[in-house]
Amino acid sequence: MHKDVVGIKGIEIDCVVGVYPHERDIPQRLIADVSMVLDTSATGARERISSTVDYHQAAAQVVFILETCRFRLIETAGHALARLLLLPSATKDPRPRVERVEICLTKPKALDGKAIPYIRVERDASWGICRRKEECFGSVDLVYETPEVGIYRLNIKSRGVIPLHVHPDGEEFVFVMGDGISCDGRPVAPGTIHQWAPGAAHSYENGTDLTQSLLCVRAPPLARKRDHCGDEPKKARTHISVKEKPPWPD
């Protein structure tokens, strides 16, 4: 195993996390530290960011997951983040795969400053394998699910389209991972976040020659059916305006 480590320290997020009633209503500070073991030999020789981990993208995805999933336990959050960061690329990406990851999550205010609880999760690449479902637009990787929330990577094939669809029973958050993605016909930059209310119709298109991905959080988790490739919704609430956030850390 290679011992090169790309790390990100001190990612501060205000998010809902905890099991007690007061923790479900008010966001609290969480601090995330991430270490990723991989081979950086090619990067050292070529000095190309395409041959290593994009730590800006990794940090932005950590923030997205913690802000949107509303986990009850930091243990669950740690496991979900480890699975996400260990995912193999969905494209012919020259970046080396992360061989091992360490996630440390700290709740500095949980014990009123008298002590500081944290969880450290360490996993290797064999734990990062997830189930994949083929879809009309490409495929869906099941990253992590709890009874309340699901995390998925939607891989849109070259020139593929996730057709206009709705999720009538839940809220959906989408993080644009790839380049050349359009939402409802409008180009969106990587790192952009969309929040879709229940019943809001939306579509995504990949205008490139490579597979591009979206990171999706659903509450509740996706039903065990073809959610994205059915007929165009006849009663879609298209008047709902999507909530859009620019790429982190803006």
At 236, which amino acid appears? A
> Quick one: average pLDDT of 8-37?
94
Residues 185 and 204: their CA atoms lie apart, in Å, by 8
> Quick one: average pLDDT of 147-176?
95
From-to residues of CATH 2.60.120.10 in the chain: 130-245
Task: Give residue-wise pLDDT tens across range 101-114.
Answer: 999 999 998 898 89
Whether the pLDDT of residue 239 is over 50: the answer is no
> Quick one: average pLDDT of 145-170?
95
> Quick one: average pLDDT of 43-67?
86
pTM of the predicted protein model: 0.91
Whether the pLDDT of residue 237 is over 60: the answer is no
Bigger pLDDT: 189 vs 225: 189
> Quick one: average pLDDT of 23-41?
93
> Quick one: average pLDDT of 2-12?
90
Whether the pLDDT of residue 159 is over 90: the answer is yes
Task: Give residue-wise pLDDT tens across range 58-77.
Answer: 999 999 999 999 999 999 99
Question: Which residues, other chains included, contact 52 with Cβ-Cβ below 8 Å and sequence gap of 6+?
Answer: 6, 38, 40, 42, 43, 95, 96
- Split at pLDDT 50, 70, 90, the class of 96 is confident
- % of the chain at pLDDT higher than 90: 68
Whether the pLDDT of residue 162 is over 60: the answer is yes
From-to residues of CATH 3.30.1130.10 in the chain: 5-127
How many beta carbons lie within 10 A of that of residue 146, not counting itself?
A: 17
> Quick one: average pLDDT of 174-189?
95
Task: Output the CA torsion sign for 136, 235, 220, 189.
Answer: positive
CATH of domain 5-127: 3.30.1130.10
Domain spanning 130-245: which CATH class is it, in words? mainly beta
Task: Give residue-wise pLDDT tens across range 215-232.
Answer: 999 999 986 544 556 545
> Quick one: average pLDDT of 195-204?
94
Q: Can you give the pLDDT at residue 94?
A: 67
Q: Can you give the pLDDT at residue 246?
A: 78
Whether the pLDDT of residue 92 is over 80: the answer is no
Whether the pLDDT of residue 86 is over 90: the answer is yes
Q: Can you give the pLDDT at residue 226?
A: 46
> Quick one: average pLDDT of 117-132?
93
